[in-house]
Structure 1
């Protein structure tokens, strides 16, 4: 999981005026994992960032590899040379 204890990245003070922004500390910013929504430290010490763990990172990569994610845009025409 993380090389850094999660508690060291948590500050008692919210970084934003209204308290809705992520918590900031010297160890990094605390964000939600885009895969499972658990807390994850967004800092160089978290080698899986923005994910909370290797499992979430690889699960997301698998979804890209199996084409579960799609980038929207116009379909390429069949005479497009980059299609060959």
Structure 2
């Protein structure tokens, strides 16, 4: 029962983060920065889902910025 609750909670959190990232992307460069900050604070499956979402939503220039932001945050 506890594991089911934890799994359901994680699904809800991931759904909320997806919605937040989608909304953030409506605000250009600043929204992308926020989306990247959300991405780098997550881990595991949630991080992969968010990265994939960003990658799909961004054009070539946005993808280059995403790569650069991720490289900059790793330093």
TM-score by length of 1: 0.24
**Structure 1 or 2: larger strand share?**
1
**Structure 1 or 2: larger helix share?**
2
**Which one scores higher on RCO, CA 8 angstroms, separation ≥ 6?**
2
TM-score by length of 2: 0.26
